[in-house]
Amino acid sequence: MADMTLRQWLLTDTPTSRRHAKLSALYQGWLAFRSNTMAMIGLGILLALVLIAAAAPLLAPHDPFVQNLGNRLAPLGSEGHLLGTDSLGRDILSRLIYGARITLYIVALVALIAPVVGLLVGTVSGYLGGWVDIVLMRITDIFLAFPRLVLALAFVAALGAGIENAVIAISLTAWPPYARIARAETLTIRSSDYISAIKLQGAGGLRIITKHIWPLCISSLIVRVTLDMAGIILAAAGLGFLGLGAQPPSPEWGAMISEGRRFILDHWWVATMPGLAIFTVSLAFNLLGDGLRDVLDPKAGE
């Protein structure tokens, strides 16, 4: 054991403890994920986005809010503006860099709210069954019956425009698929011998759901969350495009596209650059989600 390298210790087929087994599983999952080139590209893009957002004050060449009407709609590369300026003379590159913070803020909040709500509704519905299952799933079906953006527009219209209200609206429209996944997993798990043995030991329903069912549902939800991030970013951009998300002068990418659509024929870069940013980040989340699905899907090796 003393002569065993860390890699050999992690790749052993005979773990010596529960902690050793978990670390070994994590490392083997990382090796499988690392072998997927496209997933690594997606991860690299997202890590770069996080670093850019964190270092925005250092990386942005100009103040994203300062207007210069004498230099409005400047083309790419002119007078120190690498990506040009918008209709108010603001530097587009600086606004894109600061806009990354808003995008990550929206993604993080929705990722914290929607899956948790879906996991709670789905596991309670699947475990308790009966009228509880019927009521919760019919409510879920009602939410699923409406297109996400249309339902988000309705919630934002009721709550009022603003980035926080946009996050709430997107979260309220994003949880039903997670509830469906969690319910399906719970229906499979609750009749297993593993759960029956726990019941015989005296465990109550709350403990079974939180300690034994939730951990088994997490991997499926992680994959779904990652794949859904592209749709969430597009929904946030759509709300911003319609003026219902982040409000001016906030450098939100969807609002930047909305502002630039008036000049799309003669000054194409004003709307194209934030559009490319949305496309790149959405693609990165999809690539990352595909890689995680290959690693976390228990049927992948069959």
Q: What is the spatial distance between Cα 15 and Cα 129, in angstroms, rounded to a whole number? A: 38
Residue 291: pLDDT band (50, 70, 90) is confident
Give the C-alpha separation, 225 to 285, whole Å. 9
Query: pLDDT tens for residues 170-192?
Result: 888 889 999 999 998 888 888 88
Q: Is 150 a domain residue?
A: yes
Domain of 195, CATH number, reads 1.10.3720.10
Q: Domain for residue 84, yes or no?
A: yes
- In a domain, residue 27? The reply is no
Residue 249: cis peptide before it, omega within 30 degrees of 0: yes
Q: Which residues contact 40 (CB under 8 A, 6 or more apart)?
A: 33, 34, 291
Q: Give me the mean pLDDT over the 251-267 stretch.
A: 87
Residue 147 domain boundaries? 36-296
**In the chain, how many domains are there?**
1
Q: Is residue 220 scored above 60 in pLDDT?
A: yes
What is the reported pLDDT for 53? 93
Q: Is residue 108 included in any domain, yes or no?
A: yes
Q: How confident is the model at residue 2 (pLDDT cuts 50, 70, 90)?
A: very low
- Looking at residue 299, its pLDDT comes to 52
What's the confidence (pLDDT) of residue 129? 83
Provide the pLDDT for residue 68.
85
Beta carbons of 129 and 214 less than 8 angstroms apart: no
Tens of pLDDT, residues 103-132: 899 889 998 899 999 999 999 998 888 899
Is the pLDDT at 49 greater than 90? The verdict is: yes
pLDDT at 297 over 80: no
28 within some domain: no
> What is the pLDDT confidence band of residue 4, given thresholds at 50, 70 and 90?
low
- Domain assignment of residue 269, yes or no: yes
Residue 24 lies in a domain: no
Would you place residue 248 in the very low, low, confident or very high pLDDT band (cuts 50, 70, 90)? confident
Q: Is residue 272 domain-resident?
A: yes
